[in-house]
Amino acid sequence: MTLVSAWYSRSEQVSNSLMIASDSCLSYGERWTCCPKIFPLNRNDSAICFAGSTFFAFPIILQVINMINMHEKIMSRAEDICDLQSFIIDLLNSMMEKRSFFSTNGKQDPDVRFLFAGYSWKHSAFYAWIYEYKDDKFSKRLVIDSSVRSSKRFAFIGDVDREVTTEDIPREAQIDLLKRLKKAGKKPKEMTMEPFDVIRSYINNKEKTTIAGKIQFVKINRHMNVQPFNIISVVDGKQEMSLFGRDLLAHEKNRYLALHEETKDVYSYPFSEKKLLYNASLGIEK
């Protein structure tokens, strides 16, 4: 199972940005808790993530990446994300037409959902779309629109292993988020890192065994920049660093900032320098 959230924050403290968080667990007869589910695209203005069957998800995401990388106008961002989202739906359905089956009993609908999100230079706004398979084809719906008059501020996607649970996890997570905002006296447009904490609560819930692993987090900025974050977590009293769900090896260094998953403090990296930059929830230097 998977739980992914995307949300738009227009808080003055943390600036206008679109954020994505996910767990890192893949399940198929076993649990594998170090797997990427958020994929920044090389255009550097958008990202795609998934929930559901990796049999369908990984080939499709790789072909989306290939389509972008080989097409000069798409790669250079001459084509806006509002154009790209239509190209993606065409690619999805084109790939579905290439399936063949060994028997009539072998046909199955793809149990997978995708979320594509990014910043539109054409409309000066953040958008996100969910792609789902229904009635023998993929269709899309707009779930985040940062336009001033829009109420579309956040979205969750997930999948359900019916052998484990019949719960509608994304719907449950959405209700959880709204309760957290109400308790904090916030409107959805005022949220900062609350969806991040919803994902963490599911990861830390021992009853939700299929939502697990280190949380992964990506921020999409208005200046056309996708910013993955290292995640600092405390396990058995020891600090660990992960990126896209995988614990970094001792020799690994990268250029990304480091976010402490509990305090939301953001540090420069390498973390050994311990240079605190700001707090992701408050947007202020301590």
For the segment 179-191, the average pLDDT, to the nearest whole number, is: 92
pLDDT at 30 over 60: yes
Q: How does residue 264 score in pLDDT terms, banded at 50, 70 and 90? A: very high
Q: How does residue 107 score in pLDDT terms, banded at 50, 70 and 90? A: confident
For the segment 115-139, the average pLDDT, to the nearest whole number, is: 96
- pLDDT of amino acid 29: 77
List, for residues 148-172, the tens digit of each pLDDT value.
777 789 999 997 655 555 678 999 9
Task: Supply the DSSP symbol for 248.
Answer: P
List, for residues 78-91, the tens digit of each pLDDT value.
999 999 999 999 99
- pLDDT of amino acid 149: 72
Greater confidence (236 vs 131) lies with: 131
Residue 173 parent element (H or E)? helix 169-183
- pLDDT of amino acid 79: 97
Which two tokens mark 121?
């230079």
pLDDT at 272 over 80: no
Residue 249 parent element (H or E)? none
Q: How does residue 286 score in pLDDT terms, banded at 50, 70 and 90? A: very low
List, for residues 52-79, the tens digit of each pLDDT value.
999 999 999 999 999 999 999 999 999 9
pLDDT at 105 over 90: no
pLDDT at 94 over 90: yes
Which two tokens mark 241?
């660093």
Q: Are 266 and 277 in contact (CB under 8 A)?
A: yes
Q: In the chain, pLDDT over 90 holds for what percent of residues? A: 71
> Comparing C-alpha atoms, which of 24, 46, 45 is closest to residue 35?
24
Q: Is the pTM of this model over 0.85?
A: yes
Query: Dihedral of CA 272/197/53/138: which sign?
Result: negative
The whole-angstrom separation of Cα 265 and Cα 183 is 22
For the segment 267-285, the average pLDDT, to the nearest whole number, is: 71
Greater confidence (253 vs 104) lies with: 253
Pairing mode, if any, of strands 276-279 and 154-158?
A: unpaired
For the segment 272-278, the average pLDDT, to the nearest whole number, is: 72
- pLDDT of amino acid 19: 97
For the segment 100-123, the average pLDDT, to the nearest whole number, is: 88
CATH code, 3-98+109-221:
3.60.20.10
Greater confidence (221 vs 107) lies with: 221
- pLDDT of amino acid 285: 46
Average pLDDT, the chain: 90
Greater confidence (172 vs 274) lies with: 172
Four-point Cα dihedral 191, 196, 197, 201, nearest 10: 140
Q: Are 232 and 246 in contact (CB under 8 A)?
A: no
Listed by start position, the domains of the chain span 3-98+109-221
